[in-house]
Structure 1
Amino acid sequence: MSKVQCVRTIRIAERPNLIWVEIETDERLIGLGESFRGVQAVEAVIHEQIAPWLIGRVSRRIEAVSRYLMTPYLGFHCTGAEMRAASAIDLALWDLAGKRHGIPVHEALGGAMRTEIRAYNTCAGYAYNTGGVGRRENCATDTVVGPYDDQVAFMRDAGGLAESLLSEGFTAMKIWPLDIYAEASGGQMISLSDLNAGLEPFRRIRAAVGDRIDIMCELHSLWSANAALRICQALEDLSIFWVEDPIAKMSDTRALADLRRRTRVPICGSETLGGAVSFRQLLEADAADVIMLDLAWCGGLTEGRKIAALAEAHARPLAPHDCTGPVTLMAGLQLALHAPTAIFQEVVRAPLATWYRDLVTDLPVIVNGMVQAPVAPGLGTSLLPEVRHRQDVLVCEFGESMPRG
């Protein structure tokens, strides 16, 4: 009957922002999901609210489960704990669906539009996003700990970083050298001297490699609309592919649409939005050129494919986010292969080359800057068995787990 028998959460102290969910069914199948940030709150929602309701229900009814979890009395249309918990559960149910039928999730969604998709490298380091805040880690004063400390590199030698990425086949990169100037004014303004300093890495990339690489600018929702406009207009002559999350509240579609009308740089948004309604409002306001979503935050694949359909209906390209965890990356890749208007899958080469490999069995394969379609059933990866035996692991179960051989 494919009924849910056990819901399990797993997290490790070394990566305190990551949480995994495993759902076991009476078919002896296990589906894997993931979410990110505030994991104690997500864990509480899963075990105190979701798991008691989910046990005994048919895991095939993904849409029905999603509808229930995405319409709580509080906590919808945002990326709060309820949404992140629902996202992790949904990813696990889709992983189960693919495994049940022996097909990858992109096929379960309706088939692949493409067999590979272009990657861009988000220039973060090895420890980026692993602590509480994340976005200001590894600044220019930090010590380089390995060859892929790309956040240090874009502040110190952006041209050399671009050359390194091109040598590995990447033809697009994302950096955020302006973030460090937001704190002084709470993001309300940026001085001309700070603006010029923040633009320098972009200039160095262009000087080093010309137009051989596309550059995205990440603003991390740090700025007021007025300050963001000054930054965007200053970037216009540097052929920036997009400016991502430029204003402090990306749900403020009126302010965002006004900004978009007043600058020539394309606006990308937003990993910070949850649920299809938020993205519908963004699109109806004509407030973004590129639609970015994070499947561990927006409601999972069930909601993600609806957001992808909205992007297609509004003739907007789609770019799944991942600067968080390996399972979310695999899920984003599955959607990017399926969604008609998808143009990129974000990757971060530092964790791909290091600690992601300590957590999961499989990761995306990148050939000449193109991410290849996974062929394994489900999301295409599982937690390594040794993860649950680590000294720093915390495992919580609700329901009856099947015996392990």
Structure 2
Amino acid sequence: MSIVTALRTLRIREHPNLIWVELETNDGLTGLGESFRGAEAAEAVLHSQVAPWLIGRDARHIEAVSHHLMTPYVGFNSSSAETRAASAIDIALWDLAGKRHGVPVHVALGGCVRESVPVYNTCAGYRFNTSGAARRDIGSTDAMSGPYDDQIAFMREPGRLAESLLEEGYRAMKIWPFDVFAPKSNGHLLSLSELKQGLDPFRRIRAAVGDRIEVMCELHSLFGAHAAARICNALEDVGVFWVEDPLNKMDDAAALADLRRRTRVPICGSETLGSARQYRDLLAADALDIVMLDLAWCGGLSEGKKIAALAGMYAKPLAPHDCTGPVTLMAGLHLAVHAPTAIFQEVVRATLATWYRDLVTEVPVLNHGAALAPTAPGIGTELQPSIRTRDDVIVRESGSPRRN
């Protein structure tokens, strides 16, 4: 048996959205999990609800734990604090499973379908998504803080940005130039002038590099049906690979299916959904072309594996999300090399080159625009030892943690 003896959470004030979970077992192993957004709420769920139930149970029974945490007596939808807590626990349990057997998580899941998976660069900056809502307004006085400040770059020099990505081996990129127009009308009114401004970066990318790079459009669930349809139809001429999360209610299967019927651009969704049931409903309604999921928000690898199976049954491509944290990225990569229909793993080169490396010991290895399958047992990364001695670290423990 492998009994859970302690549950520990760690978070740091520098990155207040992130929370890590460590599960200790009586066979001397520690499993690492992660979730993102509302870290304090997830922390409360983990210690007040999860720990009293989980401590003393066998860590090998991952599916039983997942079922219990994802089907509580009081129901919830989407990526609630309960779902985010369950996600972190599940990732940690799979990390334990891989370590227990001395294999990477993708082997524990059933093995690789591919040895590497293509990546695309989400064109965010170094501090994107670190302290609250993602910043969408790039002003004329904003200065580049480094060579990978890609959100400023796609608004000012999108052609040069595309060239830079191609030089590093990337063959796909994602941008969101329409976001700045959503707030004033809650995403329901987009003028012709604004539409043309939003299209301009896509046209400049095509003028600079032609068809050598795929371009995705992110809409961040900011728009109503009319504005979203106007954007999608206008993007048909520039050959976008997908339009992601176009509607402000991405669990509305009827509205999303209606939008998909009105446009020829592929619809991708949605990192914001929690549990396989919501993906089942969207796929049954013929509302999606590409399935995106975030393992820190949907229920972890156990639920992610079910979502991947649904994508396979509907012959839809799968693309794990990352604009959140390094442990989630590593977990997504394990799923991406395992799932038969996976086509991309999202990365942010700005964070891969900087603060992700400050937080964990290993990040994905990229080679010619693809992420290689991790080879170490478990998830394949650990928190940097320096995290535990930081002045801004907040640690909570339940159970009987080991003392080194």
Distance in 2, matches of 1:261 and 1:218, equals 19
Distance in 2, matches of 1:231 and 1:279, equals 24
| Structure 2 alignment gaps of length 5 or more | none
Q: Counterpart amino acid of 1:117? A: V
- Paired position in structure 1 for 2:384: 384
- Paired position in structure 1 for 2:248: 248
- Paired position in structure 2 for 1:68: 68
Deviation at 1:118, TM superposition (A): 0.2
Distance in 2, matches of 1:402 and 1:86, equals 23
Deviation at 1:39, TM superposition (A): 0.5
Q: Flag the 1:135–1:42 CA change in 2: closer, same or farther, 3 A.
A: same
Counterpart check, 1:179 vs 2:189: no
Deviation at 1:143, TM superposition (A): 2.0
Distance in 2, matches of 1:8 and 1:265, equals 45
- Paired position in structure 1 for 2:232: 232
- Paired position in structure 1 for 2:145: 145
Per-residue deviation, residues 45-81 of structure 1 (Å, max 9, x unmatched): 0000000110000000000000000001235331010
Q: Flag the 1:164–1:128 CA change in 2: closer, same or farther, 3 A.
A: same
Deviation at 1:184, TM superposition (A): 1.5
Distance in 1, matches of 2:231 and 2:135, equals 18
Deviation at 1:137, TM superposition (A): 6.2
Counterpart check, 1:317 vs 2:317: yes
Q: Flag the 1:68–1:251 CA change in 2: closer, same or farther, 3 A.
A: same
Q: Counterpart amino acid of 1:274? A: G
Q: What SS does the corresponding residue of 1:60 show, helix, strand or coil? A: coil
- Paired position in structure 1 for 2:301: 301
Distance in 2, matches of 1:4 and 1:126, equals 37
Q: Flag the 1:147–1:388 CA change in 2: closer, same or farther, 3 A.
A: same
Per-residue deviation, residues 128-176 of structure 1 (Å, max 9, x unmatched): 0011212426566422111100000000000000000000000000000
- Paired position in structure 1 for 2:15: 15
Q: How does 1:270-289 map to 2 (within 5 A)?
A: 270-289=270-289
Contact 2:137 2:180 in 1 (8 A): no
- Paired position in structure 2 for 1:360: 360
Q: Which moved more, 1:75-84 or 1:88-97?
A: 75-84
Q: What SS does the corresponding residue of 1:82 show, helix, strand or coil? A: helix
Q: What SS does the corresponding residue of 1:193 show, helix, strand or coil? A: helix
Distance in 1, matches of 2:31 and 2:262, equals 46
Q: Counterpart amino acid of 1:273? A: L
- Paired position in structure 2 for 1:53: 53
Distance in 2, matches of 1:158 and 1:150, equals 9
Distance in 2, matches of 1:182 and 1:243, equals 16
Report the aligned-residue RMSD: 0.9
Distance in 2, matches of 1:140 and 1:382, equals 40
Per-residue deviation, residues 283-333 of structure 1 (Å, max 9, x unmatched): 000000000000000000000000000000000000000000000000000
- Paired position in structure 2 for 1:90: 90
Distance in 1, matches of 2:272 and 2:5, equals 32
Contact 1:175 1:216 in 2 (8 A): yes
Contact 2:115 2:373 in 1 (8 A): yes
Distance in 2, matches of 1:64 and 1:135, equals 39
Q: What SS does the corresponding residue of 2:198 show, helix, strand or coil? A: helix
Q: Flag the 1:265–1:281 CA change in 2: closer, same or farther, 3 A.
A: same
Distance in 1, matches of 2:330 and 2:137, equals 25
Q: Counterpart amino acid of 1:358? A: D
Q: How many residue pairs end up in the alignment?
A: 404
| Structure 1 alignment gaps of length 5 or more | none
Q: Flag the 1:140–1:301 CA change in 2: closer, same or farther, 3 A.
A: farther
Contact 1:76 1:275 in 2 (8 A): no
Distance in 1, matches of 2:151 and 2:140, equals 8
- Paired position in structure 2 for 1:221: 221
Q: Counterpart amino acid of 2:167? A: S
- Paired position in structure 1 for 2:129: 129
The two structures have a TM-score, normalised by structure 1, of 0.99
